[in-house]
Structure 1
């Protein structure tokens, strides 16, 4: 029996505007096994969040998914009807958003919001739903969960609200959870606690997790595999330890070099020059070429996917262990 929770092939999402077509997600492919954590990493505007919204069928017009296949537990859900999507979301695939105050209803108690998530998908009694909701709160490390069930979101701290959003996502034990930068606004101590809880939950429950972030330092301690995105495409994919130790794509190298390091205290950071190109005006060939110190005339053409034993990447001039940063 296959252990693949989610398989995405050739996912492409366009936004059709008066100025032209913005290719926000361009031929994205990856898979997530049961209990595996896959990170999508890249700068703002690289297509990470649009990928997540495409997977959940939440892209609003003028955006639309124009191509690709989304297999959830082996079933293609891309062509699902609106009714089928209402059953899938929250039950088979759930999402944790960046700001819990935008996803939690401020005038409904926390417990009522989680029990509603349960009873929409399962025919259980109110008392049974409350027991499951309380257990979910305990699973994400919330102290005195029965008491927190009676609280309103504004009565809780940011870290507590994010834990509740995660509890709401796991309560129906979905096959896949998509988390869109859920710890960005939290301090490092609370962030570390939540990262520990989410990794523990994924491994114990066999849930596939897609973690979206711009922070490679988070990925290092959380994910099993990483997909590095740039201008709507995955430019490098591989095991986290391998990619961080020996990146192949110059963009991945730039992301790693731009992180502050304790041994470089007092020295200037090393940012990637320039900025991400507008999706309506992408350069020909490799979109990273205008910012890349390894670019040549060959980069005016679109690079093909190169696969090695440990990873895949899109680059005419990949880095290897003997190359200097």
Structure 2
């Protein structure tokens, strides 16, 4: 399946633009995750301590950050940064596993080796430049014809029914998977549609919906809390996007959550293959390296050149989209574990 870019700067392309927030005149930084005495920190790792952010300048463990730290202060391991304020994290923010069904959690662990915390953080980072929100679980029932000649766009990864600009859509697979997740012995696209009271036919690879888009989207929206629908969406997301992104990471010897997430975000935003600025196109231009941090620095630099072009994103949203991933990689958070504050900080930029 050739997977093309979803749309201009938004997987979901909501009809209402994300509202921009006016920054305060002197905005206080969000604190990184707190320093821990038992953790070994490498160069460029970022932490916070007593209301201030710090960056590691040498490898250390157990060295308490202090204002006198830094390269010019006796070779201490920490460079003092700006004063910061801890993010407000709710119980829901911290309940990573709670954002998935047990079946989906097990499926993702079996297929990717990543747990609920890692996948939740990946999805937060993906959702920020799409909807200016970290609440990615609120769009399982998204459905809209965004007038891009790709049919109707559905769900958190923007499955489409197909059209002149999309001759290989993924919504048919989504509905077939929905039928299967709902208990069908012989699942089919038509069976999945029938479960929501909709009729449709396949015209070649294109799914044609009877009864009009408003009625169809009302039925899809009603699936927001349907567990079988959520399960089907994750399985389709894996088949179309995650599997390819993981394959490309693993073929280079990389297994971190951040690299997979960054590749996945690129595939969703710019297309997985079939174009010079798709994920595969960008990877073809990045010099080979077995050093994951170095490779990803080159990948992010290459993506930054085009991320605000070809209707991928509005500037500077695309730049900030890439910066989320590159910053977390530089700060040594490639596992996307124990980094709730860091994810909030990385996504605290203002949508334009």
**TM-score, length of structure 1 as denominator length:** 0.29
TM-score by length of 2: 0.28
* Structure having the larger proportion of residues in strand: 1
Write 1 or 2 for the structure with the bigger share of helix. Answer: 2
